[in-house]
Amino acid sequence: MAPTLDGLTTEEVRHIAKLARLALSDEEVERYREQLSGILEHFQVLNEIDTTDVPPTTQSFAQTNVERADEVRPSLDPSDVLRNAPRTEDGYFRVRGVLD
């Protein structure tokens, strides 16, 4: 779904909102349509910049991983871990499902 030359349509904004599981009023749809269209216009300007002679970069400074030594330690007792859990089931944390 590519944006039109005039920016996003209200249908496209409603589709994006549905994917993000957002309930938007008509006023919010129009406000976000304008804002998102403006953002896409800025990206279009960036897409038009010639970067063929620009070398790829990664970081401007050296990075190193900070790791601690891997030490074997005793595990926590499962009953102690589950003691403050709101819900448990068969020795595990019980949580609500998050996927449809």
pLDDT tens digits along 60-83: 777 788 898 999 999 999 999 999
**Residue at 92: amino acid letter:** Y
pTM for the structure as a whole: 0.49
What per-residue confidence (pLDDT) applies to 51? 86
The predicted structure's pLDDT at residue 100: 66
Give first-to-last CA distance, the chain, whole Å.
25
List, for residues 13-68, the tens digit of each pLDDT value. Answer: 999 999 999 999 999 999 999 999 999 999 999 999 998 888 887 677 777 888 98
Q: What is the pLDDT of residue 58?
A: 66
**Backbone region of residue 49 per phi and psi (left: phi > 0; alpha: psi in -120 to 50; beta: other values):** beta
Three-point CA angle 82, 83, 89, nearest 5°: 45
